[in-house]
Amino acid sequence: MNVPSVKLRDDDILLCSYAKSGTHWMSEICRMLIHGRTDIEVKPKLAFMLELKPQETLDKEPSPRLLNTHYRFDRLPTDLKTKKTKIIYIRRNPQDFVVSFYYHTLKLHQPYEYEGEFKDYFGLFLDGKVDYGSWFDFVKDWEKIIAENPDVPILDCTYEDLKEDPIREIRRVADFLGVERNENLFRSIAESCNIDIMRARFKGHFKFREDGEKTFCRKGETGDWKNLFTVATNERFDQIYKQRMVDSKLKFKFTI
């Protein structure tokens, strides 16, 4: 799909993130807020992913459409220049992200066919030789876009904030989307979108290697990077992070 040419609607909602940063989680939250209930049909985010679906498929979706992509801002639909599309951008601390992406790559034998150890994958991550390129460039690009375009409706969210206080963050999303919902629904959505229920809801919707866990949702935790990072890995990460993010004001919570 040629994403820049995708035709948008004024009431579209676009979820943007680097992969493995909580897009499925946020997608479920938004869908429940839009419908005003939690007993909604199971629809993985892949069903509304700009880089995977043709225009005619997207056109069949009723408004308001909840679309998503892992592309950088400069590769998003050019319609954003004229439409009133709201963007929810979600980011995750890079240490947890790279651990999650490593296990994701192992489980999806097709198309990756990856058999390496974490230390090998970590090197690929640092060099930007993973899906969607450099994580550092991605988050800094979005940081710049948000800072320089205050007129563009973008809600900046983090995986860690959503984990720390889901009801508060769900309320923020509802306010941003302009949907009037009550606290009971916020609590119900938080409960319905916890990792155990999400894992059960999406089980069987993705193809994994035969010896892998049959679920797209893994742990849904923060701080899991400590289980794979050695002292040497952490020291190398800290050094690279300081170099690559020296001109960034972004703050990430590495433990909560």
Half-sphere exposure of 212 (CA within 13 A, CB side): 22
Q: Rounded to an integer, what distance in angstroms lies between the CA atom of residue 121 and that of residue 102?
A: 7
pLDDT for 75 equals 94
Q: 153 lies in a domain?
A: yes
Whether 222 shows a pLDDT value over 60: the answer reads yes
| Residue 45: domain span | 9-244
pTM of this structure: 0.90
Give the closest residue to 143 by CA, choosing from 89, 81, 94.
89
Q: Give just the sign of the alpha carbon dihedral 219, 222, 227, 230.
A: positive
150 falls within a domain = yes
Give the CATH number, domain containing residue 194: 3.40.50.300
pLDDT tens across 24-51, in order? 899 999 999 999 999 998 888 888 999 9
- What is the predicted pLDDT for the residue at 249? 96
In a domain, 4, yes or no: no
- Given this model, what pLDDT does residue 220 score? 58
Q: Is the pLDDT of residue 208 over 50?
A: no
Task: List phi, psi (to 5°) of 160.
Answer: -70, -40
Q: What is the mean pLDDT of residues 157-174?
A: 96
In a domain, 251, yes or no: no
Residues involved in catalysis: 70
Asked if residue 92 lies in contact with residue 159, where contact means CB atoms within 8 angstroms, the answer is yes
Mean pLDDT value across the chain: 89
Contact (Cβ atoms closer than 8 angstroms) between residue 223 and residue 115: no
Using DSSP's 3-state secondary structure scheme, residue 212 falls into: coil
The reported pLDDT for the residue numbered 79 is 96
Residue 110 pLDDT exceeds 70? no
Domain presence at residue 134: yes
